Structure 1
Amino acid sequence: MEREITSIKVQKHNQQRVSIYLDGEYAFGLSRFVAAWLSPGQKLTSADIDRLLEEDSYEIAFQKALAFINHRPRSVEETRLRLQEKGFSDALVEVTLQRLIEKNWLNDLDFARQWIENRNAFRPRSKRLLAYELRLKGIADNTITQALENYAGDEDRMAFKAGLKKAQQCRQETKPDFSKKVGGYLSRRGFHHTTVRNAIDRLWEAVALPESERCDEME
């Protein structure tokens, strides 16, 4: 049985969606994109309605995903979990993810490289910890390896950079206390103990106050 579209109205609380009226009664809502080819007077079969509602579900999922990834870069797995949390079916989620990947709006390699660059710029840490963080984001090991190929700088340089602020905070400490505090800080950022020892020596030489000055300030 066919039903006639008697009215199409833009929804008050969401200008991107419209309400579809069939035979004078409200029937369902659709995104404006899905409803673009509809017009009053048009007849719809039950199959037409089912197809429209299915297309609308895909469009809703797609727009939810876009809003999520536009806030900041996301991995494929993060986006998958977000859509699942919103109640979308697994099949619908996978279709949406594939659509985003095909448009290159989701790209785990790009995400991993951006993550590493951001960490290096603001919160330096070891390759080992970077890899661990990326695994938590659902990034595959081979993608992590590829992203770390362009890792800016060696571990010694990054350990020095990572520990500089902490070392400046501890510049009045004795060498043993300085080593303990700065070393613990660097170890928590995943640096190997040999790298930590080397960084401590360099940082001590770079920022520690001469003993006479430390004593003067402590008096």
Structure 2
Amino acid sequence: MPKITKIEVQKKNKERFNLYLDGAFEMGIDIDTYVHFNLKKDQIVDAQEMEKIQNYDQYRQAINAAIQYLSYRKRTDHEVIQHLQKKEISETVIAKVIEYCHAQRLIDHEDYANSLKNTMILTTDKGPGIFRQKMRDAGVEQHIIDKYADKYESEQPLEDIVKVANKILKQKKGPTVKRKEKLTQSLLQKGYSFEIIKEAMSEMDFEQPAEELDNLLQQELEKIYNKYSRKYSGRKLINKTIEGLMRKGYKYDNIKDKLEESGIADGTEEIE
């Protein structure tokens, strides 16, 4: 039967050993495997014992890979499993590694959720909806997602959301009704709920200088009128222009005044 003839420390990794059977290199093992099986020189190991040693060392290597992966930041079961699968570790071993990680509190979904919540509130301009999506992508259980998404919404300062909204609003031009629509859409995409958006918008000032809005209307009028003049004329052209401007949120009375100011009476005048 095979006999251990030498056990030596590896040159590049003092935590691993080279195991020799009958004078030939058999395999590398880590220090935990070495201690677990109490291996020593001249020990007899049969095929069944060697299989146990190999399986246990694979398990230890997988644990070490998981611990290294977890050392960078908190992870979930799903993330660790994916990482180990890329290393072609068997599903049986992965299941044992996940069990070990939970037992050692290396993986804790509640802690993961709380940490992600705090980090996102402090460092991003995203709302609970994005937080929920990140949690789902990470494989966190739904009841934990719901619990910490509620905490996220209650803990995120309204003043921070208003700041985000005001920053977005500065980039939105046009009538107030359209600016509000565009702002709402942008905030929804950032993960905020309609209720929170409504609350934040109630704290905001949407007033615009009359001259600025008038200039915007003039620009839009020229753009839309010239676009439709390629296809329509007369009253049809005027009506299409009015419809186009109203879709952009401009009021009918303001459009009518601007048409008259621009000298458009019957739709035949050209806007330069």
**TM-score category, normalised to shorter length:** 0.7 to 0.9
**Mapping of 1:111-122 within 5 angstroms?**
111-122=112-123
**Mapping of 1:155-166 within 5 angstroms?**
157-158=157-158, 160-162=159-161, 164-165=163-164
Instruction: Give the counterpart letter for 1:10 in structure 2.
Output: V
Deviations 1:176-202 (A, max 9, x none): 486466444322112234532442352
Residue 8 of structure 1 aligns to a residue whose secondary structure is strand
User: Structure 1 residues 13, 125: closer, same or farther in 2, change over 3 A?
Assistant: same
Give unmatched runs, 5+ long, in structure 1: 215-219
Instruction: Give the counterpart letter for 2:22 in structure 1.
Output: D
User: Structure 1 residues 49, 194: closer, same or farther in 2, change over 3 A?
Assistant: closer
Deviations 1:33-91 (A, max 9, x none): 21132222222222221111111011011111111111101011111111112111111
Partner of 2:14: 15
Aligned mates of 2:44, 2:105 — CA distance in 1 = 38
Counterpart contact for 1:116–1:151, Cα < 8 Å = yes
Partner of 2:46: 45
Q: Which has the higher contact order (CA 8 A, sep 6+)?
A: 1
Counterpart contact for 2:16–2:28, Cα < 8 Å = yes
Partner of 1:86: 87
Instruction: Give the counterpart letter for 2:103 in structure 1.
Output: E
Aligned mates of 1:173, 1:93 — CA distance in 2 = 51
1:185 aligns with 2:215: no
Q: Which range is displaced more, 7-16 or 107-116?
A: 7-16
Instruction: Give the counterpart letter for 1:32 in structure 2.
Output: I
TM-score by length of structure 1 reads 0.80
Instruction: Give the counterpart letter for 2:61 in structure 1.
Output: I
Aligned mates of 2:179, 2:13 — CA distance in 1 = 58
Q: Which range is displaced more, 72-81 or 119-128?
A: 119-128
Counterpart contact for 2:75–2:107, Cα < 8 Å = yes
Aligned mates of 2:161, 2:87 — CA distance in 1 = 38
Partner of 1:104: 105
Larger radius of gyration: 2
Instruction: Give the counterpart letter for 1:27 in structure 2.
Output: E
Partner of 1:75: 76
Q: CA deviation at 1:127?
A: 2.7
1:61 aligns with 2:51: no
Aligned mates of 2:169, 2:30 — CA distance in 1 = 58
Aligned mates of 2:131, 2:91 — CA distance in 1 = 29
TM-score by length of structure 2 reads 0.66
Residue 13 of structure 2 aligns to a residue whose secondary structure is coil
Partner of 1:131: 132
User: Structure 1 residues 169, 189: closer, same or farther in 2, change over 3 A?
Assistant: closer
Counterpart contact for 1:113–1:148, Cα < 8 Å = no
Instruction: Give the counterpart letter for 1:47 in structure 2.
Output: Q
- CA RMSD across the alignment: 2.9
User: Structure 1 residues 84, 46: closer, same or farther in 2, change over 3 A?
Assistant: same
User: Structure 1 residues 8, 170: closer, same or farther in 2, change over 3 A?
Assistant: same
Aligned mates of 1:17, 1:154 — CA distance in 2 = 48
Partner of 2:197: 196
Residue 19 of structure 2 aligns to a residue whose secondary structure is strand
Q: CA deviation at 1:112?
A: 1.1
User: Structure 1 residues 28, 113: closer, same or farther in 2, change over 3 A?
Assistant: same
Partner of 1:35: 34
Counterpart contact for 1:18–1:31, Cα < 8 Å = yes
Residue 150 of structure 1 aligns to a residue whose secondary structure is helix
Partner of 1:5: 4
Instruction: Give the counterpart letter for 2:6 in structure 1.
Output: S
Q: CA deviation at 1:121?
A: 1.1
- Once the two structures are aligned, what percentage of the paired residues are identical? 18
Aligned mates of 1:162, 1:5 — CA distance in 2 = 67
